[in-house]
A and B are shown apart, each in its own frame.
Chain A
């Protein structure tokens, strides 16, 4: 998928200037965010559950090689095939080769973020294989030629009218504009695809190592259709999705679904262990599991960033994030958006190219507070900022503008001692004379001009606190205390 992380500022500004998008993004707070809050409040010992989930992820990631090998053996034992892909290219090639060798003409897909990462749909199209997304949101954005706006609600940015026109373009009969009629139309359109598809391609929410079971969490039933109707099922996953046991799966499911939508359980939880068995009346005759690295080893090897692999992709941090709720999903410029996107995208693409992502955060910590496995996203953003500022990813330190580096040196000097602070105060007060009106500054020069676009700035106090403090002390002594 094309990487547009460099265009963050421009894309963010465009979203902020779009009142319709702003109102839809605002709804995330009262919608998903509050629903998650209610679900968490209704769960006894959420905090313990969350700690347990985090411990499971920490343990599994710590011993990732072991659990992936265990999972591989289990899948093979169940009659499936496993392919480890080092990158998106290798994963795409495996799926394409498989499709070609089986004469696949059409494939149905159930929502998968990793396939977005791989740009799989485009590759299938180029090979003359029709690939149709069957999650309603994904279907809409596929028809519109867009990328997911949100990890679990990919078409959250589209209005009802947008959706209606996109669906209408696929149909000769007029579709009404009620939600029911639109969903009905999509259902009819997708049914035809399900019936003829030669291959079902799905993502993976969890892979249970001890049994080799792939677990899918959906609300539309499309996951179950995609895993049961076509003769071949290909499941694709990032290598961090493995959990050791069925018991662990129980913990992770409780955390994931409540955090994602505020439900206690999603409408469907589909578990797939290998292809159909001899005694089964139907189901796919082939099952392939593609386990993708695509930069994840780099995260695994970095103790500062490893935590990002604990992510369940529930999307709760997006809903909680006041920056995401302003700039929207597309501004992040790649597959993943919001706070977790700001961590994962630079790691999986290029930090210098995506340097806006770790910086565009007020570090408010709402993401960490909402995360079901307590991923410390602010700490990782701070780490990436220091990697950029101190030239560890880019030796010429071009990642940070000269102006900013100079400002930091100036700041460093000004707070080097009380005397330097006094001198800086004097200089600052001289500089502010032409700017100050009635005790405030309405317009600052660049590079600080951005501040005064939205707010006034206070003037430096004529007598800083340190000068006043002496008087307080003197007063006390005079009073004989």
Chain B
């Protein structure tokens, strides 16, 4: 596997990577792409070994006391990090938006959660808002321009509506001339994943997915991109089940491929 370090470039930022449990366990290649991309952009990354999961599965199902140990572990593991970068809008929202809610009866932990939340960023917002890089082609002039591809982008609900991250992923992809962003119908509508919702209400989740798969299929895109591995698990699983030959890729993978 090619793990070539970045071209000589001065360190412009240091950050800790919270890779998320889903990427760690199911999509390690998304984590690898995240690392390569960020290193090329001059980020010195570390990977705190104590990390597991942000606690969202339990929290969203109502099991707050079960979510707490995982959340506390996250806070303990990352509290001294200068910045935390996460290749997921949903997990970032859990940390930044819902940890204070989870610890509402524990002022000290809630305070810590707010502090840690302030320095926790989803990947695309980290690159654009923290590193100040919007034009990847200009930031990485030595890159090899890849083959042209048509990409449909699914904006994750938590990314968009909890974090307010809308333009960052689009701007990053748009800065690469070989990527053509293609619109599709009702692209702003949820894919139907919703964590345990997809298991508890498979018919509803499946019906929502059906619309998403049909719209992506009709878009003429070769790739469906998103900033959350879980949306991609849902949409990709649906595309595969219906034998639609469109690949799914995390934003980190798209950008990694285009900047190598």
Contacts and interface: CB of A to CB of B under 8 A. Distances in A.
Secondary structure type dominating chain A contacts: helix
A416 B197 contact: no
Interface stretch (A209-217, A305-313, A403-411): A403-411
Interface in B44-69: 47, 49-53, 55, 57-66, 69
Contact of B206 (A440, A447, A455): A455
Given A322-B208, A472-B32, A389 B61 contact: yes
A458 B25 CA distance: 10
Contact of B23 (A13, A415, A465, A471): A465
B32 A9 contact: no
Interface residues of A, number: 72
A469 B203 contact: no
Contacts of B51: 418
Given A451-B202, A455-B241, A469-B31, A382 B161 contact: no
Contacts of A368: 161
A461 B28 contact: yes
B69 A468 contact: no
Interface stretch (A71-79, A258-266, A358-366): A358-366
Nearest to A473: B47
B222 interface: no
A475 B158 contact: no
Interface in A1-59: 9, 12-13, 16, 22, 26, 29
Nearest to A464: B24
A457 B237 CA distance: 6
Interface residues of B, number: 70
B225 to A, nearest CB: 17
B24 A465 contact: yes
B234 A455 contact: yes
A191 interface: no
B10 to A, nearest CB: 12
Interface in B156-213: 157-158, 161-162, 186, 189-190, 192-211
Contact of B237 (A22, A415, A417, A455): A455
A16 B199 contact: no
B62 A386 contact: yes
Nearest to B32: A468
Interface in A430-481: 440, 447-448, 450-451, 453-461, 463-466, 468-469, 471-473, 475-476, 479, 481
Given A365-B162, A451-B198, A455-B238, A389 B24 contact: no
A417 B241 contact: no
Interface string A392-410: 0000000010001100110
24 contacts: A13-B203, A359-B197, A361-B194, A362-B195, A365-B161, A368-B161, A389-B61, A389-B62, A404-B61, A408-B61, A408-B66, A412-B69, A415-B21, A415-B52, A415-B73, A416-B73, A418-B51, A428-B25, A455-B206, A455-B241, A465-B31, A469-B31, A471-B3, A472-B35
Interface of A: 9, 12-13, 16, 22, 26, 29, 322-323, 326-327, 359-366, 368-369, 379, 382, 384-390, 400, 404-405, 408-409, 411-412, 415-418, 420-421, 425, 428, 440, 447-448, 450-451, 453-461, 463-466, 468-469, 471-473, 475-476, 479, 481
Given A363-B158, A390-B63, A464-B24, 17 more contacts: A9-B203, A29-B189, A322-B189, A359-B200, A361-B197, A363-B60, A363-B157, A363-B195, A365-B157, A365-B162, A385-B61, A386-B63, A389-B61, A416-B69, A416-B70, A418-B51, A440-B240
Interface of B: 1, 3, 5, 19, 21, 23-28, 31-32, 35, 47, 49-53, 55, 57-66, 69-70, 73, 98, 101, 157-158, 161-162, 186, 189-190, 192-211, 233-234, 236-238, 240-241
